[in-house]
Amino acid sequence: MTPITCIEDLRQLAEKRVPRAFFQYVDSGSYAEETFRANRADMERVKLRQRVLVNVDKRDLSTTIVGQKSSLPIALAPIGLCGMQHGNGEILAAEAANEAGIPFCMSTMSICSMEQVAEATKRPFWFQVYVIRDRGFIADLIARAKAANCSALVLTVDLQVLGQRHRDIKNGMTVPPQIKLSNVLDIMSKPRWVKSILGAKSKTFGNLAGHVKGMEGVNSLAQWTNSQFDPTLSWQDVAWIRSLWPGKLIVKGILDVEDAKLATKSGADAIVVSNHGGRQLDGAPSSIAMLPKIADAVGNDIEVMFDGGIRSGQDLFRALALGAKSCLIGRAYIYGLGALGKQGVTTAIDVIRKELDITMALTGVTKIADINRSTLATETIPEETHVLELAESRKAAGGR
């Protein structure tokens, strides 16, 4: 096999090994995918300040994330259907994160259950929760997270309704896959994936099956989401969850300065600047464009984390320089999981670690706390628009 040198190598390998519906589930955005593409385009426009003749012999990449020591300023983001990229995907990703000394966050919409991950890893992990109409179920879910020894609760607030993802609809994306000729032929060409799924502990939504009313017999994430997610969600619900959860509370999905200020008053310990990976409001700004504005607005009143478009150590450096204390990586590690299982997740983390280390050396930085806007060639993201770029990329993508 060709050596893996970057996250894109893992992405290309995952595309070959994971059935089309599940690969495209993580590799796409909503509607015309403008925000999905902007996350990467804007990230690449942030330029680093090269420094020379600075003693960078001893570099320290460690930090703390919501009070937890971490070998890197990253955590593995919550990914729905993680276990459909590779059998026991949540367990494997958690094990890789533990061995790397970074946090792992499990999604409500995981395939393995939180109890299965807790039993397999014997280590604390974060749990991500959505608020649905059945508040009793949410209270039970939080109680289960306590019992599973989760060390932080991540409340995702930007999915009160589901943004349409064209590729999921066209692929008929369900769990397990629909039995139709195109799916069967695709799956038959992925023997490694089939073997991993057949040997998995769970093959449906592990945190939901047997626990939430209305989930029986539902194999479509979109079907369940549209019927259960609650558009009445408000800051009062954040306060309610704060009252139920004694540990660290992280609010994910903040993309507006006013919302960031409200979050500082909500009792949360941290916020994640995020547009859900370009999978919700298409036409929203990129996460990296909003990060410095939000970081400036909240100052030290709340810990600022970042999510959206990180594919390298250079990207991680950019986000830290623009105000994030730490970052979540999602697609970067999920490509590794689909490509090589646990080893792929480890490889993704190692790629980003090595790239961040070299980037720090070449910018004259020896510790994470010294990464700030002075380490950028320009202090703000250029304001040029991407109208032509977006038009061309949309045309190339077939008008999505």
pLDDT for position 83:
93
Q: Which long-range contacts (CB under 8 A, 24 or more apart) does 96-101 make?
A: 96/333, 96/342, 96/345, 96/346, 96/349, 97/125, 97/345, 97/349, 98/123, 99/346, 100/71, 100/72, 100/346, 100/349, 100/350, 100/353, 101/69, 101/70, 101/71, 101/72
- Residue 305: in which H helix or E strand, if any? strand 303-307
Catalytically active residues are 276
- The residue written with tokens 């289960």 in the block is 144
pLDDT for position 178:
62
- Sequence-distant (6+) residues with CB within 8 A of 258 are none
pLDDT for position 291:
97
Q: What is the pLDDT of residues 31-43, one digit of tens each?
A: 999 999 999 999 9
Q: What is the pLDDT of residues 141-170, one digit of tens each?
A: 999 999 999 999 999 999 888 888 888 888
Q: What is the mean pLDDT of residues 76-80?
A: 96
- As a whole-number percent, the residues of the chain with pLDDT over 70 amount to 88
- The larger pLDDT score, comparing residue 172 to residue 381, is at 172
User: With contact defined as beta carbons under 8 Å apart, do 154 and 274 qualify?
Assistant: no
Q: Which long-range contacts (CB under 8 A, 24 or more apart) does 143-149 make?
A: 143/244, 144/114, 144/115, 144/207, 145/114, 145/245, 146/245, 146/246, 146/247, 148/114, 148/115, 148/117, 148/118, 149/118, 149/124
Q: How far is CA 218 from CA 60, 78, 146, 333, in A?
A: 47, 21, 27, 28
User: With contact defined as beta carbons under 8 Å apart, do 219 and 174 qualify?
Assistant: yes
As a dihedral over the C-alpha atoms of residue 315, residue 320, residue 323, residue 329, rounded to 10 degrees, the angle is 60
Domains and their CATH numbers in the chain: 7-395 (3.20.20.70)
- Considering only 26-30, 111-115, 130-134, 209-213, which range has the smallest mean pLDDT? 209-213
- Considering only 55-64, 81-90, 128-137, which range has the smallest mean pLDDT? 128-137
The secondary structure of residue 163, as a DSSP letter, is: P
User: With contact defined as beta carbons under 8 Å apart, do 59 and 363 qualify?
Assistant: no
Q: What is the mean pLDDT of residues 103-120?
A: 95
**What separation, in Å, do the N-terminal and C-terminal C-alpha atoms of the chain show?**
33
Query: How far is the C-alpha of 113 from the C-alpha of 219, rounded, in Å?
Result: 16
Query: How far is the C-alpha of 377 from the C-alpha of 186, rounded, in Å?
Result: 46
pLDDT for position 236:
93
Q: What is the mean pLDDT of residues 381-392?
A: 46
Put residue 271 in one of left, alpha, beta given phi > 0 → left and psi -120 to 50 → alpha.
Answer: beta
Verify cis geometry, omega within 30 degrees of 0, for the bond prior to 382. Answer: no
pTM of this prediction?
A: 0.90
| 13, amino acid identity | L
Model confidence at 391, in pLDDT bands (50, 70, 90)? very low
| 52, amino acid identity | V
